[in-house]
Chain A
Amino acid sequence: MKVLHSQPSATTCRLAFLYSIACILLCFCAPAPVHAQTVTALWQFCSSGSGCPDKDQPYGPLIQGSDGNFYGTDTGGANNTVLGGAVFQITPGGALSTLYDFGSVVSSGACNGFSGNDGSAPVAGLVQGTDGNFYGVTSTGGCGAGTVFQITKAGTLTTLHRFVGSDGADPLLAGGALLQGADGSFYGTTNLGGTGAGSGTIFKITSGGAFTTIYSFCPAGNFARNGSGCADGAFPYAGLIQGTDGNLYGTTYEGGNLASQNGVSAGTIFRVTPSGVLSTLYSFCQGGGSCTDGAFPGGALVQDTDGNFYGTTQSGGNAVQGGTVFKITPGGSLTTLYAFCQIPVPGENECTDGEAPNGGLIQGTDGNFYGTTLDGGASGYGTIFRITPGGTLTTLYSFCPGGSCANGGKPAVGLVQGTDGSFYGTATVGGSSPVRGTVFKLQLPQVEPTVDWSSPAPIFVGAALGPEQLNATASYHGTPVAGKFAYSPTAGTVLGIGTDQTLSVQFTPTDTTDYAPATATVQITVSPAGPTVVPSTVISTTGSGLTYSRVSKTYTGTVTITNLTNSAIAGPISVSFTGLPTGVTLTNATGTYQGVPYITVSSTSSLGPGQSATVAVQFGDPSNVRITFTPVIYSGSLN
């Protein structure tokens, strides 16, 4: 039996709220059939023995460790007790092991003698530090206001810090985890506490436990919901990310510039320097009483490669208040990409496209964003969705399809994409019992990569196909996809003369789980003959004198070639003007070949025995240097 220390009331309320959702749903749910998706429960909590030795109710996201396994937290207590929680490891195959049980011992150190002073109720997930250890927070326990801890892969836990209130309290980091900054320190937020109005903090802590509160929200100390408010935000619910500019970005669940918020303290998006200088980028609920721009952001941000930030709000968006997905520039210009509950269920206030996206977003390897909603969907147990950077939303999965919640339901946090391309997450209910939760895996249907293959340049008859022609690549939304390319005709094939001959390729991806085979075709032209240098013993080249034009400032004349042999020389025939003096240009050149200008003398026909062909030449010679060149005669097209 765990002894819980006194909790700040707001935290207790929030956790109770989450529990209440689950409890209400037990009575409420009348799930409608949904389309089958490739979602499987890797683990159903409280299913491995009596008394829930694995604990239950995961509210934090997973991370994939450097060893390929996934790591996470849950919040339930063993033997159906309330709170406590654990740190667990689960393999991609679904074998779960508990690394550490919180509140299971009475620890030494600060607040010695308090049961659970090693922490309790880790709502957040973990982050793997560069030292290989995992770092996390508990929302309660310690000295009653939560902890920061380090845990090794072997399960040895070290409590790095115990919050006492003035330095922050209740580090929820909902839907996220601590952030390890570029400086190696860890950064996070607390939902409560601090030196202001107790409206939360931003803190920094080293792996050695050196703790610094770098910012306390609402320093004026006058927060009152829907009242005077905290212009800089209040009650940060989520974690931080570090932008490409080195600053930290996050959200507060409440607060903001009330003067512009229609009286609704709907939360903010902020930027804070690592040293603690905070700037409010945006205050939600600018769009009137229904907060069409969203309200109450509960998840962390994610920064796209374009530099913009993407996130979610739990509420607002439209009259149904289903929440939003938004984009905001580093300068603070916000765009609502999607407002949930565009498809309400008549009479049920449920939304088949999802409702209340609590957990923030992740960006998949395909460039799209993925997230979950706590509510809504076909059965009201939440969804998994994909949204493009442009705002096109696709519901990938609705939990509790067909009335069965074997895969879980009510996902409170976001997803993680495994190295296998599948998405992994946690659900707070469902599994073996409606209130226990699961670890689930979402495997998307195979996608067909794009095979990029440009039509190769024409080749001459006799040339074998090789890497210069057979050079297709495969990608998916710009990300290279590994695999094998089978060409037809194969490399080494010598094609006959002809235009627009088809080359095809069959691409077989290495990752056949996520990618489907793909094909592509291109055309190639095989010209009659390649250029060959005609020996000077075979053909003679003579030239006329050059006349200088005072009008065009050019020299004009002719060059004549003569076939000295008894055999025809195949056309096209060209004269290459090698070794022209510096500054002299062949102004009527047909083109250049290997960097040397040339004129095609006979474009199509051959030059018969003894035949001659004459071509006009025109030189630019601004310096009036003596014009000379060495003629090289080619048989075959130089194009």
Chain B
Amino acid sequence: MRTKLSTLAFLVVIAVGAASADTYQVTVSTSSISGEAGSIDLQFNPGSLVTEAATAQIAGFTSDGALVSVSPNNVAIGDVSGTLPGSLSISNADADNEYFEDFDFGNTLSFDVAINGTTGGTSGSVFAFSLFSDPQGTQPVLTADPGGVVFTEAFNTDGTTTATNVSPEAVSSLVVPVSTTPEPGTGVLWAIAIALAGSGLFFRAKWRASAAA
């Protein structure tokens, strides 16, 4: 098991964007189960207290494995629109908002997820990504979570998000935000940084020109 878990790798790469919420690029190494006919599950559900509306956007799904687009197991429950490998939009309107599809694992798969919504309420919402080694979705794989969850991103009541790699061996080093919503102070810092970067390029170009002269 430890060997399997050690092969699980999430690669989240910083990709600065203009989105108003965090965007995570989730990359999972599935080489240890490559060739197995399993399934994947993506869901975005509200909490049990007062929950404001929110939506999870999934895009950029890529893999050397293969989605099994035609299967009696495939199902979209609740407020789900779109189809993989295209973009998915999952809102937290119902108790269970879930996209489940059979999947023939390759060595890796990857996708981006971003959550937007209204702040407030007393419950957040949570996006969860799960893997199963069987087409029916009953055998969790590459995780110790009994429900098969390998990654979650919580949308908190204050609008922040919290990403968690449920696999303890991978969570600290392999999950990082790929974008953040600039806070006012952060925006200033970004402006300064851009200005500094621009001035650096300016002074570097000027220095190169001077040196060439």
Q: Point out residues on A near B: beta carbons under 8 Å.
A: 540-552, 555-557, 559, 617, 619, 621, 624-629, 631
Contacts and interface: CB of A to CB of B under 8 A. Distances in A.
B47 A543 contact: yes
B147 A546 contact: no
Contact of A626 (B95, B128, B132, B147): B95
A545 B124 contact: yes
A556 B146 CA distance: 11
Contact of A619 (B48, B126, B148): B48
A556 B147 contact: yes
B157 A557 contact: no
Interface stretch (B26-34, B38-46, B167-175, B179-187): B38-46
Given A549-B147, A550-B100, A550-B137, A544 B124 contact: yes
Contacts of A541: 49, 122
Interface string B42-81: 0111111101000000000000000000000000010000
A582 to B, nearest CB: 14
Nearest to A548: B96
Contact of A544 (B44, B47, B149): B47
Interface of B is mostly: strand
Contact of A628 (B43, B48, B100, B132): B48
A551 B146 contact: yes
B133 interface: no
Interface string B98-121: 101000000000000000000000
A631 B49 CA distance: 8
Given A628-B48, A631-B49, A547 B126 contact: yes
A546 B140 contact: no
Nearest to A554: B147
A473 B49 CA distance: 49
B147 A552 contact: yes
Contacts of A549: 146-148
Scoring B49, B128, B155 by chain A CB atoms within 10 A of each residue's CB, the highest score goes to B49
Contacts of A627: 48, 95
18 contacts: A540-B122, A541-B122, A542-B124, A545-B44, A545-B45, A545-B46, A545-B47, A546-B45, A546-B126, A549-B147, A551-B140, A551-B146, A551-B147, A552-B147, A555-B96, A557-B48, A626-B46, A628-B48
B92 A550 contact: no
A619 B96 CA distance: 13
Contacts of A540: 122
B50 to A, nearest CB: 8
A627 B44 CA distance: 14
Contacts of B9: none
A619 B155 CA distance: 20
Nearest to A547: B128
B161 to A, nearest CB: 11
B95 A545 contact: no
B154 interface: yes
Interface centre among A546, A551, A556, A621 (most CB of B within 10 A): A546
B45 A547 contact: yes
A579 B156 CA distance: 24
Given A621-B95, A624-B94, A550 B138 contact: yes
B146 A548 contact: no
Interface string B148-164: 11001011010000000
Given A542-B122, A545-B154, A624-B77, 14 more contacts: A543-B48, A543-B122, A544-B126, A545-B47, A545-B123, A547-B149, A548-B45, A548-B96, A550-B41, A550-B148, A552-B146, A555-B95, A619-B48, A627-B95
A628 B49 contact: yes
Contacts of B137: 550-551
Contacts of B51: 545
Contacts of B98: 548
B125 interface: yes
Nearest to B77: A624
Contacts of B152: 547
A556 B124 CA distance: 13
A545 B127 CA distance: 8
